[in-house]
């Protein structure tokens, strides 16, 4: 057979064809593969197809042959199975951190990890109530730079901003970047946060929304040292986010027995629940009298009741009174 300029790429093209066009429901026989290679300007015959497929199998590609009238070759297993890709696509679509444009880019890349026919099944639309997408396109590079600084033991500088009603950035310190030691990244309520350390401040640990950070630079300065044994990230996150943020108090709350799953989701699977004998159960937990916690209790209506302490019950009454005065 005369060699073409693409003959050296023959096995690579065969790998591409099998990966993109075959799966357990879409098979290509030797003649189909000869024709597909011809479209790339690569001549082949049936015998060379068998030899090349054997080489790809030796390399580790899981190519299976189904014999019979409608038989053929297909790629039987991949790095990601279709259900795994669907899960990843759903996560990308529903994440607030990822912008709409970047979501589409990532899904297209995920689609290349399976066959063309199976990729059509990844064209999914996930609807999550109240879920918005991020505005900051640079957040992915910010995350990467922060991780690089943490791994290399360096400080970072950055600007921090909020948005005004025109969706324009309003920087808190436009002329003076923040300089901090990055400690750890954490995920809470579908947002990425950076925990930082600075010994120059009374409260040395601080938290910043990653999607509100801009102009992140890795500095040449070594990171500030802190006592890693006394700093527990899990405890810090519980104390500074949501219904555990602020000064915590010991509380006892009663819930309807239909809310067991809700309580475990919110307070953790190790939460101790005590039956009260009236269709309710109670838990004891350390919480804060924040609008987040009080709002959580309020949305459960008569199926949740703060039992103690009295100060937390008073906080709930004050919040309800203040809100009701707006509508009188």
- CATH number at 57 reads 1.10.10.10
- Establish if 1 belongs to a structural domain: no
In the structure, what pLDDT confidence band is assigned to residue 163 with cuts at 50, 70 and 90? confident
pLDDT of residue 64: 94
Q: What is the pTM of this model?
A: 0.59
Structural domain for 92, as ranges: 82-122
pLDDT exceeds 70 at position 136: no
Domain boundary among 172, 198, 228: 228
pLDDT of residue 66: 92
Exposed e or buried b per residue across 99-110, where buried means at least 16 C-beta atoms within 10 angstroms of its C-beta: beebbeebbeeb
pLDDT exceeds 80 at position 246: no
pLDDT digits 0-9 by tens, 65-117: 999 888 999 999 888 888 888 888 888 877 777 777 888 888 889 998 999 88
Are both 14 and 31 inside the same structural domain? yes
DSSP of 197-224, one letter per residue? E-TTSSS-EEEEEGGGEEEEEEEEEEPP
Are both 93 and 64 inside the same structural domain? no
- Asked whether 169 and 163 are in contact (CB, 8 A), the reply is yes
Are both 36 and 59 inside the same structural domain? yes
pLDDT of residue 87: 84
Where is average pLDDT lowest: 14-23, 123-132, 235-244?
123-132
pLDDT exceeds 70 at position 285: yes
pLDDT digits 0-9 by tens, 37-51: 999 999 999 899 999
- Establish if 131 belongs to a structural domain: no
Are both 106 and 175 inside the same structural domain? no
Q: State the burial class of residue 73 (Cβ atoms within 10 Å of its Cβ: 0-12, 13-18, 19+).
A: buried
In the structure, what pLDDT confidence band is assigned to residue 133 with cuts at 50, 70 and 90? low
- Establish if 156 belongs to a structural domain: yes
pLDDT of residue 128: 46
Mean per-residue pLDDT, 6-19 = 88
3-class SS at 280?
Answer: strand
- Establish if 145 belongs to a structural domain: yes
Mean per-residue pLDDT, 294-305 = 94
Residue 312 CB: number of other CB atoms within 10 A? 22
Are both 88 and 70 inside the same structural domain? no
- Establish if 127 belongs to a structural domain: no
Fill in the DSSP letter of residue 320. H
Domain boundary among 94, 122, 150: 122
Q: Can you give the C-alpha Rg of the chain in angstroms?
A: 29
Domain boundary among 122, 152, 178: 122
Are both 157 and 97 inside the same structural domain? no
In the structure, what pLDDT confidence band is assigned to residue 124 with cuts at 50, 70 and 90? low
Are both 146 and 217 inside the same structural domain? yes
Are both 319 and 254 inside the same structural domain? yes
- CATH number at 298 reads 3.30.70
pLDDT of residue 130: 46
- Establish if 106 belongs to a structural domain: yes
Are both 254 and 308 inside the same structural domain? yes
pLDDT digits 0-9 by tens, 212-244: 899 999 999 999 998 888 888 877 776 676 655
- Establish if 233 belongs to a structural domain: no
Mean per-residue pLDDT, 192-205 = 88
Are both 145 and 214 inside the same structural domain? yes
Are both 47 and 96 inside the same structural domain? no
| Number of domains the chain contains | 4
- Establish if 130 belongs to a structural domain: no
How far apart CA 4 and CA 155 sit, in angstroms, is: 56
Are both 254 and 300 inside the same structural domain? yes
Average pLDDT, the chain: 86
């Amino acid at each position: 057979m005369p060699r073409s300029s693409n003959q050296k790429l023959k096995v690579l093209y065969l790998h591409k064809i099998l990966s993109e066009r075959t799966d357990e429901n879409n098979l290509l026989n030797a003649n189909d593969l000869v024709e597909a290679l011809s479209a790339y300007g690569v001549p082949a015959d049936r015998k060379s197809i068998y030899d090349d497929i054997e080489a790809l199998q030796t390399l580790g590609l899981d190519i299976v042959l189904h014999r019979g009238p409608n038989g053929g070759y297909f790629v039987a297993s991949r790095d990601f199975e279709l259900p795994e890709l669907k899960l990843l696509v759903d996560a990308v679509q529903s994440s607030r951190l990822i912008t709409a444009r970047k979501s589409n880019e990532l899904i297209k890349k995920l689609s290349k990890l399976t066959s063309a026919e199976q990729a059509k099944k990844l064209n999914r639309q996930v609807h999550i109530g109240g879920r918005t997408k991020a505005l900051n396109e640079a957040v992915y590079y910010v995350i990467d730079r922060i991780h690089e600084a943490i791994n290399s033991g360096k400080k970072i500088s950055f600007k921090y901003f909020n948005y005004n009603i025109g969706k324009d950035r309003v920087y808190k310190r436009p002329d003076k970047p923040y300089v901090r030691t990055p400690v750890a990244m954490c995920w809470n309520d579908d947002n990425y946060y950076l925990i930082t350390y600075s010994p120059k401040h009374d409260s040395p640990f601080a938290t910043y929304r990653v999607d509100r950070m801009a102009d992140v630079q890795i500095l040449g300065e070594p990171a500030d040292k802190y006592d890693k044994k006394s700093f527990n990230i899990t405890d810090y996150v519980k104390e500074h986010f949501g219904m555990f943020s602020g000064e915590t108090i010991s509380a006892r709350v009663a819930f309807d027995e239909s809310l067991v799953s809700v309580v475990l989701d919110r307070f953790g699977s190790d939460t101790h629940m005590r039956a009260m004998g009236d269709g309710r159960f109670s838990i004891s937990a350390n919480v804060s009298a924040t609008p987040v916690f009080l709002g959580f209790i309020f949305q459960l209506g008569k199926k949740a009741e703060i039992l103690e302490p009295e100060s937390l019950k008073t906080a709930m009454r004050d919040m309800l009174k203040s809100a009701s005065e707006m509508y009188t």
